[in-house]
Amino acid sequence: MQPMQFGLFLTMPAPEPRPAAESYRRALEMAEAADRLGYSHLWLAEHHFTNYSHSSRPLLLLTHIAARTQHLRLGPAIIPVPLHHPLVVAEELATLDVLSGGRVEVGLGSGYQAYQYERFQLVKGKTPTRDDEAIDVLLQALREPVFSYSGEHFRIARTALVPQPLQAAMPLWLVVNSSRRASVEKAVQRRANLFTGVLEPISKLTNVRRQYPDLAQALASVRIGTQRPVYVAQSEAEASEAVEQARWNGRATLRLRHDMGDVVDGVVPAQPFADEPSEQALRDDFLVVGTADECIHQLRRIQNGLGCDYFSASFWFGALPHEQVMASMRRFAEKVMPVFAGEAATQARKAEAQRETMLAW
């Protein structure tokens, strides 16, 4: 398993009406700060037609971000495959890879919001075989200089992608349900890393390497990543405020995922649910919110529960003010990330010492 890396995940929410230019300025400032502070990745969600997210065209925004950053790995998390033709996506990813100097990683999934499917004249969950083929087409286009494809839904004559991506093997991440073996196996067959463990309570996370020991060898070279809302607080009052803002994201996500309640002119209803968890329950089992030490504790639980080596911090959620989000990002980089970097360095030194001992014998 690789040393733990930390990146950013942005949905760009707007619980209250805000100018779009403000949301994009916030995203750009966060990207530039992440590049300076040593975060490894920046992922943008893709959602459409609601105030849950201003990130409707992540590859366009990532192209702009690429010109403003030097080190960050950049990617969509995730592209909802059913909403797009795979060759259009392949062209856009390849273009971004060229313009970013080979810094692109790609996250793929199905998306979960029936509201956006309906507006694209589609029905969520009705095209699994088409979507499976679309992923294969996309991967062939990115991985092979010249390719062709013959399937039930796609028939593509001999084709060369223009431009060609800089990376010969652009890292791929697939959303998987770790409790479903077929989902994990399919990702491994596609030489993909895994995005998982986003919705489950932290106390009930599944480590796929332990869950499927016969796949352990194949999973040894696979990265496992996840994400949660994060806020590094300076006081209990700040932490409580962050939890309340995270509730908005949770309510919006549940309503959009399960088609609960009407979206009115793009505004997702924000009324509380009757049986919402308490603040303490959310902090204990769903969020990474609190002092730096409390955040480190939660991240260790997530790392141990999933066996993950990548974590996306969702710093911007609900209506958290931009200044607080940026301050939390800085505290995370200064007080949390170095702890994991130090542990990784210690483990590397121990492994090297063991190797030298074995060679001496």
- Beta strands 41-44; 73-76: pairing state: parallel
Q: What is the pTM of this model?
A: 0.94
User: Is the predicted pLDDT of residue 323 greater than 90, yes or no?
Assistant: yes
**Which uninterrupted H or E stretch holds 89?**
helix 86-100
Amino acid at 87: L
CA angle 320, 12, 82 (to 5 degrees): 145
- Distance (Å, whole) CA 347 – CA 149: 45
**Which uninterrupted H or E stretch holds 342?**
helix 337-360
In the structure, what pLDDT confidence band is assigned to residue 360 with cuts at 50, 70 and 90?
A: low
- Beta strands 106-109; 147-150: pairing state: unpaired
Cβ atoms 292, 336 nearer than 8 A: yes
The length of the chain in residues reads 361
* Strand ranges in 253-304 using DSSP code E only, listed in sequence order: 288-290
Token readout for 201 is: 């309570």
In the structure, what pLDDT confidence band is assigned to residue 240 with cuts at 50, 70 and 90?
A: very high
Query: For 225-234, b where at least 16 C-beta lie within 10 A, e where not — what string?
Result: bbbbbbbbbe
What pLDDT shows up at residue 124? 94
- Distance (Å, whole) CA 114 – CA 209: 32
Under CATH, what is the fold of the domain 5-77+176-263+270-360? TIM Barrel (3.20.20)
Report the SS3 class of residue 271.
coil
Instruction: Say how many CA atoms lie within 13 Å of 315 toward its Cβ.
Output: 28
- Beta strands 155-159; 147-150: pairing state: antiparallel
Boundaries of every domain in the chain: 5-77+176-263+270-360
In the structure, what pLDDT confidence band is assigned to residue 342 with cuts at 50, 70 and 90?
A: confident
Give the residue-averaged pLDDT of 316-329. 98
Q: What percent of the chain has pLDDT over 90?
A: 92
Report the SS3 class of residue 157.
strand
* R_g over Cα of the chain: 21
What pLDDT shows up at residue 361? 55
User: Is the predicted pLDDT of residue 348 greater than 70, yes or no?
Assistant: no
Residue bearing tokens 């030194």: 349
